[in-house]
A and B are shown apart, each in its own frame.
Chain A
Amino acid sequence: MAHDTTHDHDLSPGGAHSHHILPQGTIFLVFGALMTLMVITIGAAFLVPEPLHSNTFFMQTLAIGIAVIKAYLVVTYFMGVKMATRLVKIFAIGGFVWFFTLFIMFADYLTRPYEPVPGWENVPSSALPRATVKDPE
């Protein structure tokens, strides 16, 4: 945390809140962009030509990419992060970044197929070694 000043808002002259207001034109512009992007999302889902259309990775990346752009527009303009204090920016960005720590769980699911246990190479990869050990007696 780099906030050494207690009230960093004191830097701005008091009462001058007008700079917080999002202009009407910007709101309509962002709305137009959002609607266009939505049309692109739907259009892409049906109209992308064939070699690409059956490429799941490409199609999914495209759809999520557009959704991320839409989310960016909503967060930046509609939710006013662009005009907010640095602290609010940190929290807004931090929340979305922290979401990805959940995906550490994939380290489990992606590495389950290759249990690197020496001596058990011939056991089917999906079975846990313990499950196949014969009772020593």
Chain B
Amino acid sequence: MSATLIEQGTQEPGFKRNYLNTDHTIKSWLLTVDHKRIGVLYLIAVTFFFFLGSIAAAMIRYELTSPHGILLSSEVYNKTFSAHGILMVFQFLVVAIPAVLGNFLLPIMIGARDMAFPRLNLLSWYMFMVGGSLILLSFAMGGVDAGWTFYVPLSTISQTQISICLVGIFITGFSSIFTAVNFIATIHKMRAPGMTWFRLPLYVWSHYSTALVILLGTPVVAITLFLVVVERTFGFGVFSAELGGDPVLFQHLFWFYSHPAVYIMILPAFGVISEIITCFSRRPIFGYKFIAFSSLAIAFLGFLVWGHHMFISSQSVFQGVIFSLISFILAVPSAIKVFNWTATMYKGSVHFSTPMLYALGFLGLFIIGGLTGLFLASLDTDVHLTGTYFIVAHFHYVMVGGTILAYLGGIHFWWPKMFGRTYSETWGRLSAIVIFAGFNITFFPQFMVGYLGMPRRYHYYYTEPSWQFYHILSTAGSTVLGVGFLMPAIYLTYSLFKGKPCGPNPWGAKGLEWEHCDSPPITENFAEPILVMDNVYNYDPAADSAKYENEEVDMLGGRS
């Protein structure tokens, strides 16, 4: 690091060392221990997996435009939706925000030079890639047809390549465990002097909660999937009903992780949204401690509601009642966050720039996704709705409308920080609007057709031809959504080469990463040691908006 600083003066004027241009060899990227470079590696990897998962989604939507199916045989259809679910859940949603933005920003936000365990961080990227490769290998060898949930006994008797796929998921799971270990040690031990718990950005709080959930939940699903592999490979029968075992036990153990996994996906999104909304409203966040502790409350309560996936899986009615009740309670901390975000905007100086548009889209879609979740948490309506497209629409509203919109918002927010260049604001806003519109056209009809009774994972519905209308609407919307996703891919890539270089703080935002750190940051983040004196989010709506409009790089347009 000291060598870097000395060299800085000897270079041609205007040249600034940063983490991107210290070294350009492939080896320096593949053997890097710099958390920022690892974040970029993850960015490339998850974009790749997201692309593959989207192709599967497009095939599903195309198939469903006809009540008789037009493209895929039933076996291939099963494999297609399985591939979509597995790639999107395990290789994209669970890792997207923590591994890309979390890796990149967490040490900077707390004033550290790197993660606590940089080499472990690199190892988890490699494990992620090995796991992803095995999953893709299983698809190449013929595919997997048990869905992403791998319910036994289907997954133990299926003749497809489930074992390889499960080993891949197992390895990916341990990759995220190592990332979580790293986050926890980093947040606990690496904070700069003066960075107390209540001066941490809410982004860090939500990542801390996420890391706890990963730590406590992932090993359970790892061992469960491992048992399925053992049952397939060696013939052991822990879940086998023939031996007196209980297949429902698999569902218990699976959802013990996989419901909290929903919070692994959404909690980091909450963190991103907290940062964006407070920045573009120019107001300190409303109810900091409530948002911080509601993250922990969600992490805790999220472990106690898994049974609401099993209301019709012959678990006892008594336990169903308990789980239903706790699921309703879980809506409270989520609602606290939403109310606090809206209260933050009230009397703020709101700028409708690209990240803010994504964040507002998140708010709308997450509210719909969350409230329809309450229908599904009620015992009796769930009996009607579960296993239909209603549930598909619900979790897509939470996962796509929640996590992916927050992920894209975060990418747009921190893109100037990550690569030192700005993207086209016009295209950015357009993409946010197109994605929001396309998303709603895709998934809102699915609520309706699901309520009418269209079962999920079916591709024939010729007994009810009237449903074709909803499916065609949905497919049309998914085309719009696909265009919306392609737009950022194009203009963000373009901005890497042709974007206008920006200063350290193009948004006029608060926080260590904006105020004490170059864009892009230098290899060990800070030129000088950090001492935190201020409270977090000390925005002032009146003063800061004026200052912001005089900024040299005006990316944001006028005030609202």
Contacts and interface: CB of A to CB of B under 8 A. Distances in A.
A107 B188 contact: no
Contacts, number: 52
Nearest to B256: A102
Interface string B294-327: 0000000001100100000011111100100000
B116 to A, nearest CB: 13
A108 interface: yes
Contact of A112 (B194, B252, B303, B316): B316
Given A87-B188, A98-B216, A101-B303, A108 B195 contact: no
A28 to B, nearest CB: 33
Interface string A102-115: 10110111011011
Contacts of B322: 107
Contacts of A102: 220, 256
Contacts of B318: 107, 111, 114-116
A6 B304 contact: no
Do most interface residues of chain A lie in helix, strand or loop, or is the interface mixed?
Answer: loop
A117 interface: yes
- Indicate the size class of the contact surface on chain A: 20 to 34
Nearest to A4: B196
A6 B316 contact: no
A111 B196 contact: no
B319 A128 contact: no
B337 to A, nearest CB: 19
A5 B378 CA distance: 44
B252 A108 contact: yes
B193 interface: yes
A123 interface: no
B317 A3 contact: no
B196 A107 contact: no
Contacts of B249: 105
Contacts of A108: 248, 252, 307, 315-316, 319
Contacts of A105: 249, 252-253, 256
Contacts of A104: 304
Given A102-B256, A108-B307, A128 B197 contact: no
A1 interface: yes
A93 to B, nearest CB: 14
A126 to B, nearest CB: 11
B216 A6 contact: no
B35 interface: no
A94 to B, nearest CB: 9
B192 interface: yes
A135 B216 CA distance: 45
B459 interface: no
Nearest to B194: A6
A112 B319 CA distance: 9
Contacts of B256: 102, 105
A111 B321 CA distance: 12
Interface string B478-502: 0000000000000000000000000
B191 interface: yes
Question: Which of B246, B256, B307, B318 counts the most chain A CB atoms within 10 A?
Answer: B318
Question: Which of A6, A87, A105, A107 counts the most chain B CB atoms within 10 A?
Answer: A6
Nearest to B293: A1
A112 to B, nearest CB: 4
A115 B317 contact: yes
Contacts of B192: 6
21 contacts: A3-B197, A4-B198, A6-B192, A7-B189, A98-B216, A101-B303, A105-B249, A105-B252, A105-B253, A105-B256, A107-B316, A108-B248, A108-B252, A108-B316, A109-B246, A109-B316, A111-B317, A112-B316, A115-B317, A115-B318, A128-B314
Interface of B: 188-189, 191-198, 216, 220, 246, 248-249, 252-253, 256, 303-304, 307, 314-319, 322
Smallest CB-CB A-B distances: 8 pairs: A111-B318, A111-B316, A108-B319, A112-B316, A108-B315, A107-B319, A6-B191, A105-B252
Interface of A: 1, 3-7, 87, 98, 101-102, 104-105, 107-109, 111-112, 114-117, 128
